[in-house]
Structure 1
Amino acid sequence: MKYLAVLGLTAAVILPATAQDAPRPPVAAKKPFVVKAPFGAARTDEYYWLRDDTRKDPAMLAHLAAENAYADAVLAPNKPLQAALYKETVSRIKQDDSSVPYLRNGYYYYTRFDTGADYAITARRKGAMTAPEEVLLDQPKLAAGKGFFSVGDTEVSPDNTMLAWAEDVVGRRQYVLKVKNIASGAVLPDTIPNAEPGAIWADDNKTIFYVEKDPVTLLSKRVKAHVLGTPVSADKLIYEEKDDTFYMGIGRTTDDKYICIGVQSTVSAEQRCAPAANPTAFTILAPRQRDFLYDADHLGGRWIFRTNWDAPNYRLMAVADAQARGDRTAWRDLVPVKSDVFIEAFKPFDGFLAIEERSGGNKRVRTLANDGKSSFVQSDEPAYAMNLSVNEEPATPWLRYTYGSLTTPLTTYEINTTTGERRTLKVQPVPGYDATQYVTERVWVPARDGVKVPVSLVYKKGFKRDGSAAMLQYGYGSYGASMDPGYSVQTTSLLDRGMVYALAHIRGGQELGRAWYDDGHLMKKQNSFNDFIDVTRWLVANKYAARGRVAAMGGSAGGLLMGGIANQAPKDYKVIIAQVPFVDVLTTMLDASIPLTTGEYDEWGNPAQKAAYDYMATYSPYDNITAQAYPALFVGTGLWDSQVQYYEPAKWVARLRATKTDRNPLVFRINMEAGHGGKSGRFERYKESAEAMAFALNQLGVADAP
């Protein structure tokens, strides 16, 4: 195959290749640029020129085009396997699927897909599912002709007549809020740009509260009130957050009596609420304080708080309306703290509390009745996850929750908290899948410092633990985000080919409580990398996988994990998949104009401070590339990514190409019409993932067919 792309100026070129030679990768120009820290430290970043915030620079775009062309050439032989993986995945998706309807304010709401459709229809029926359907949003019609389309949220007015929704047609999570009359279908001229999803109606059915984003940093900065029929320029400022380390959201309490503005950083939170009937004065529930986190809901004449106040794993507390809610001495325990149980969420009902909590590495659901009786929802599997489902009506004894595992497709149940009766509302339909043919397992792997790391495993029944199998290991380990085991229509294709899938619950997540998170971020971030590597080595030593047949995968902050292990333990992995990877830690965290930077000083550290800078420099993937052999690498990004900017992986790939000593393939796929989550649409994302997975399977020597 012969490639010749003249890309101009200082852009990369794909060098000519003879028929006998493999395609040659792009070579990015080097332009010395010094990145300075406030205290004087300086680093040379020869690929800084690849950053263009306008995304219009011809040289930069030419380089990305060269990378995509090279990826096309390298991945061409994998096309049949890619097509097979995509076909298998799609065959496990019910084409005309629909969600479980839920009741709110007299209507049953749901979404449904028509056969072959990438986007859902949002609809409702009045009083019963036998009533005529009202289409709220015809997303396939709205998405027609657009390279990217996503609906972030929908909200119906209290009188059930108006619909507000948020849509993104770029992929940068800068939503546009729109409003329509449900009965007539007429879209109102009220259009609000640069907003977060999640608009909230006041009880007057004409005032919409929304969160406005900063156009540069994309941080949620202001809450405004828009009155239908008035210009957006006249919208009233309700609240502005001055501290860029805080994120902001808005919502209603369970009883619908209050509209609340919540702000939260890694280490602090504050919530202010106003009566929905007259939302003019928002008052603070509890003032912010460092290392004090809380979120609150209201029902039954009391405020209920989930808080870490003297409770690292959180506790539930309450205060009656008659008492001063900001006075914490008036708060009383509903669920006291336990050292081995982490309370993740709660939902109040008239007769009980529903609680999501973590114990033993699993997430479970329990109920606490008003009379003090506590009940757990049981599971028979060693590794699983339960979550509270949509529960919009508090005056019911029925609790909806979901259950899933690596072998069990997501199942929605409702349980009567009075009688114990349980009903199955929906099992995720997976055509052709037989859960009895697969086995899930939980193992505890000793890390190098003696801490035991939980790992969820799945493989096909009949698997022989003889050290010959290929394995895909996934990890994340940041922000306290727990990676719960759940069924995947894609993973089944790997298991059917004899592979093992391992989900490593490494430190930096919150699977084992707040301490698990604290032990894997800031000045202890190295534990995340150590845990992942030690899990790999233990699984190989215990013959779950063959040495030389291990693939690793992670995205976003999990992409940082991939970059770290590529530098620190390249011989342990045959291939690494890094999607939208956060790999240029120091440069990004030194630049407050980059989206999310200021809000994450308490996650990674502030490199303006020497101690934090020096520690981050020890693991930042871009800064630790050395002249050594690296595994085969597949790197993916989206040009419009608002979370991890495209130029981070672009620079990382360029420096890797110029430095690494091996001849293993390194491909960089850039989606020019997508952001952090990849392509939009139900099926399109599976095409992207099939490409990466086909690359990995080829490197692992896994058969093309099951």
Structure 2
Amino acid sequence: MDIKRSTLTLTIALILGLSVSACSEQTAQSTNNTSQAADKSELPVPPDALEKEFIVESPVADRVDTYYWLRDDERKAPQVLAYLEAENDYYDAYRADYQALTETLTDEIIGRIKQDDASVPYTKGDYQYYTRYEEGSEYPIHARKPVAGGEEQVLLDVNELAAEHDYFNAANLSISPNQNLLAYMVDTTGRRQYELWVKDLTTGEMKAQGLTGLSSSIAWAADNNTLFVIENDPQTLLSKRVLKHQLDAPADQATLVYEENDESFYMWLSNSKDDAFIKVQMSSTVADELRILDATTPDAELQVFAPRERGVQYSAEHFDGRWIVRTDWNAPNFKLMQVADDAIGSRDNWQPLVETSDEVFIESFEAFDNYLAINERSDGLRRIRVLPWQDFSQQRYIESDEVPYVTYFERNVEQDTDVLRYSYSSLKTPTTVFAYNMKTGEREVLKQTEVLGGFDPSDYRTKRVWATADDGTQIPVSLLMRSDFEHDGTTPLYQYAYGSYGSSSDPYFRSTVLSLVDRGFVYAIAHIRGGQEMGRDWYEQGKLLNKKNSFTDFIDVTEHLVKEGYAHPDKVFAMGGSAGGLLMGAVANMAPDLYRGMVAHVPFVDVVTTMLDESIPLTTNEFDEWGNPKEKAFYDYMLSYSPYDNVAAQDYPALMVTTGLHDSQVQYFEPAKWVAKLRDLKTDDNPLVFSINMEAGHGGSSGRFSRLEEIAEEYAFILDLLNN
């Protein structure tokens, strides 16, 4: 028995309270099996967490949670860390026999990437800004060149900054109006709690500003000395206070500009696109409020753009002496309105610009001197419409060559231009950045992501199909398969979905998934209710007391694809993360027999307990997404689907579960408790592995290659199941 497995067995013994002598006896009995490490029958006993009775109190009903002790907010409790390390050790032991496959996949996935790549530069002021990678580097280099010509200036080499950290994220780089200073946020834990840094681009000096526990948003005043940032609540991590910080003053002299007291609202701040205003956006699930400040008067008070009202969402961008407003005010699929600078303060002053439609959902817009561009959804697809200001009836659509596809705006900094930058992608077409002349309709390819390793798009085909849900609703599904796919029901399937928060799962190109498709898989994105692919009502049908529609839609899509010959019934695999991990947990409870294996990344699985605890980040913001369990109707409904609460003594698919110890979005103890309960109750012998990144948070590893290695591990888990 190797040292790692011996350590694992000892660790498990300590968790269970077993004697070390009993553990040593097991170690001795296993010593002669070292040469057969590739045989999973030789795996050590999986971790078996202690059960300790704990009462989760609630105004509706109290519940017993025997694994609640796995919650450690400080992430320092020896018993908890020992359990997590034991799970990691067990996962290491489990995957040992397919390590060669993992390494092959890692090389393959990384091998498709052009490592010394760069983004398309955009012009702002006197410079062209871009991001590039160097061969073998984990992190980007942010740089610029003078428009008039000259040498590159490196703004930030994140590789150098990250060298001494296990996790490093430099977020929201923001250039001062005079383009001499760079403000940016740094997170070294993955918990999305940032520290403000500023670099003097004339001297190269970098300096921490002494402000920590911040969100990542930044806004500059016109004086090049005043920065606005948002301080988070240290307990809930909610964005709470807007601070004004002078670069020539100590951090403790930063002044409070605004404090948000409604804990159902998030805050974000930014400069308007023309840099004329500082914008503070407050948003909940069902309401918005914008406050603005002239960037030339940083000491003035924020002005309310329009008072918040439950059921009214809006955002606005400044353009040509007026504001263009995107809102759902009497328009579930959103509309565009406008208001003059001197008429803000009330919605009564807003004037119609682009009306709402039952068939078209307005996602975003870009305003130019001569044109208005709208990114919208129709029939579940994301397209771009261009309207001349002089005559909206002369509108035109940017056409696509395939279905399914997605088009979306690139960074359009300049407003005094007829050229719109946008990206086009499909499941088989790498992201292509276009410059589209809105006057002539001509378009130019600025860059297409290069895919190495012999990639040829003609080797693949995509398809949009529709699955019928139990209630008759038609669910769109995007498919990717090899061009030689045989429609005979023998193929393995990898099905993905998210289905929450109105977040749409668009059919972008993902070079990583080619490693499955090239091995015969059909890759499917199920556009289930709870997303917003089919408009606002699609979201409403998958939230609150309609949440189960998301789960049954996913199941119905699986059954449809199997029935229609896109997949073999014994070769179906599924994946989801975060709220998509909730989806995996619920589906695993409801229809375990449909899936050979499932992957649940950072899964939100302990719905009721989390939503009862307002000290946990995100809880109060999300009562309008999931419901408030202090009300009986929501409590009962959430309890009826919460994956952790509905684990049963039944067979489950093989499961791979991941988390990050420092996750601020879904706390690590949710999947930890879920895995522990599954180990205790499930009646099958299918694998259950739990991988905990002890250095990262919700987004996983921070380096680009380490993230790809994690995807290779996921695919190796699936392929090993398929081959055994």
Please report the TM-score for the alignment, with normalisation by the length of structure 2.
0.95
| Residue equivalent to 1:73 | 93
| Residue equivalent to 1:688 | 710
Q: Give the secondary-structure state (helix, strand or coil) at the position aligned to 2:539.
A: helix
Report the alpha carbon displacement of residue 489 of structure 1 after superposing the two structures with TM. 1.5
Cα distance in structure 2, aligned partners of 1:56 and 1:278: 46
- Tell me if structure 1 keeps the 8 A contact 2:12–2:86: no
| Residue equivalent to 2:570 | 548
Instruction: Mark the runs of 5 or more structure 2 residues left unpaired by the alignment.
Output: 34-40
| Residue equivalent to 1:579 | 601
**Cα 1:12/1:354, change in 2 over 3 Å:** farther
Which runs of structure 2 are paired with 1:92-241 in the superposition (5 Å)? 92-128=112-148, 130-188=149-207, 190-241=209-260
2:665 pairs, out of 643, 652, 674, with 643
| Residue equivalent to 1:310 | 330
- 2:433 aligned with 1:429: no
| Residue equivalent to 2:491 | 469
- Tell me if structure 1 keeps the 8 A contact 2:600–2:658: yes
**Cα 1:436/1:281, change in 2 over 3 Å:** same
Q: Give the secondary-structure state (helix, strand or coil) at the position aligned to 2:11.
A: coil
Report the alpha carbon displacement of residue 486 of structure 1 after superposing the two structures with TM. 1.0
- 2:386 aligned with 1:380: no
Report the alpha carbon displacement of residue 634 of structure 1 after superposing the two structures with TM. 0.3
| Residue equivalent to 1:54 | 74
1:291 pairs, out of 311, 314, 322, with 311
Amino acid of the structure 1 residue aligned with 2:261: K
Cα distance in structure 2, aligned partners of 1:565 and 1:27: 24
Q: Give the secondary-structure state (helix, strand or coil) at the position aligned to 2:683.
A: coil
Amino acid of the structure 1 residue aligned with 2:131: T
Which runs of structure 2 are paired with 1:647-658 in the superposition (5 Å)? 647-658=669-680
Which runs of structure 2 are paired with 1:567-606 in the superposition (5 Å)? 567-606=589-628
Cα distance in structure 1, aligned partners of 2:495 and 2:469: 16
- Tell me if structure 1 keeps the 8 A contact 2:516–2:715: no
| Residue equivalent to 1:256 | 275
Cα distance in structure 1, aligned partners of 2:145 and 2:467: 50
- Tell me if structure 2 keeps the 8 A contact 1:637–1:646: yes
- Tell me if structure 1 keeps the 8 A contact 2:479–2:522: yes
Cα distance in structure 2, aligned partners of 1:250 and 1:617: 36
Cα distance in structure 1, aligned partners of 2:231 and 2:286: 23
1:621 pairs, out of 637, 643, 650, with 643
Amino acid of the structure 1 residue aligned with 2:344: R
Q: Give the secondary-structure state (helix, strand or coil) at the position aligned to 1:366.
A: strand
Cα distance in structure 2, aligned partners of 1:293 and 1:412: 31
Cα distance in structure 2, aligned partners of 1:143 and 1:485: 32
- 2:295 aligned with 1:276: yes
Amino acid of the structure 1 residue aligned with 2:498: Y
Q: Give the secondary-structure state (helix, strand or coil) at the position aligned to 1:163.
A: strand
Cα distance in structure 2, aligned partners of 1:343 and 1:504: 21
- Tell me if structure 2 keeps the 8 A contact 1:551–1:700: no
Point out the more displaced range, 185-194 or 438-447: 185-194
Q: Give the secondary-structure state (helix, strand or coil) at the position aligned to 2:209.
A: strand
2:55 pairs, out of 9, 31, 34, with 34
Cα distance in structure 2, aligned partners of 1:665 and 1:299: 57
1:395 pairs, out of 416, 430, 442, with 416
Report the alpha carbon displacement of residue 682 of structure 1 after superposing the two structures with TM. 1.0
Q: Residue by residue, what CA displacement relative to the aligned partner does 1:273-311 show, whole Å, maximum 9, x if unpaired?
A: 011111312111110000000001111111110000110
Report the alpha carbon displacement of residue 49 of structure 1 after superposing the two structures with TM. 0.3
Amino acid of the structure 1 residue aligned with 2:217: G
Which runs of structure 2 are paired with 1:470-489 in the superposition (5 Å)? 470-489=492-511
| Residue equivalent to 1:516 | 538
- 2:49 aligned with 1:45: no
1:370 pairs, out of 386, 389, 396, with 389
Instruction: Mark the runs of 5 or more structure 1 residues left unpaired by the alignment.
Output: none
Cα distance in structure 2, aligned partners of 1:96 and 1:254: 30
| Residue equivalent to 1:334 | 353
| Residue equivalent to 2:36 | none
Cα distance in structure 2, aligned partners of 1:235 and 1:95: 41
**Cα 1:497/1:199, change in 2 over 3 Å:** same
| Residue equivalent to 1:11 | 15
- Tell me if structure 1 keeps the 8 A contact 2:544–2:627: yes
Amino acid of the structure 2 residue aligned with 1:330: N
Q: Residue by residue, what CA displacement relative to the aligned partner does 1:593-650 show, whole Å, maximum 9, x if unpaired?
A: 0010110000000101111000000100000000000000000000000100000000
Please report the TM-score for the alignment, with normalisation by the length of structure 1.
0.97
Q: Give the secondary-structure state (helix, strand or coil) at the position aligned to 1:433.
A: coil
| Residue equivalent to 1:344 | 363
- Tell me if structure 2 keeps the 8 A contact 1:190–1:229: no
Cα distance in structure 2, aligned partners of 1:95 and 1:689: 17
Amino acid of the structure 1 residue aligned with 2:693: N
- Tell me if structure 2 keeps the 8 A contact 1:92–1:430: yes
Report the alpha carbon displacement of residue 370 of structure 1 after superposing the two structures with TM. 0.6
RMSD between superposed Cα atoms in Å: 1.3
Point out the more displaced range, 498-507 or 226-235: 226-235
- Tell me if structure 2 keeps the 8 A contact 1:126–1:132: yes
Report the alpha carbon displacement of residue 573 of structure 1 after superposing the two structures with TM. 0.2
Cα distance in structure 1, aligned partners of 2:208 and 2:476: 53
Report the alpha carbon displacement of residue 190 of structure 1 after superposing the two structures with TM. 2.2
Misfit runs of 4+, over 4 Å = 12-15
Amino acid of the structure 2 residue aligned with 1:375: R
Amino acid of the structure 2 residue aligned with 1:418: K
Structure with higher helix content: 2
Report the alpha carbon displacement of residue 321 of structure 1 after superposing the two structures with TM. 2.6
Q: Give the secondary-structure state (helix, strand or coil) at the position aligned to 2:123.
A: strand
Which runs of structure 2 are paired with 1:318-329 in the superposition (5 Å)? 318-322=338-342, 324-329=343-348
Identity %: 51
- Tell me if structure 1 keeps the 8 A contact 2:498–2:580: yes
Report the alpha carbon displacement of residue 10 of structure 1 after superposing the two structures with TM. 6.2
Cα distance in structure 2, aligned partners of 1:362 and 1:144: 41
| Residue equivalent to 2:722 | 700
Q: Give the secondary-structure state (helix, strand or coil) at the position aligned to 1:6.
A: helix
Cα distance in structure 2, aligned partners of 1:391 and 1:652: 44
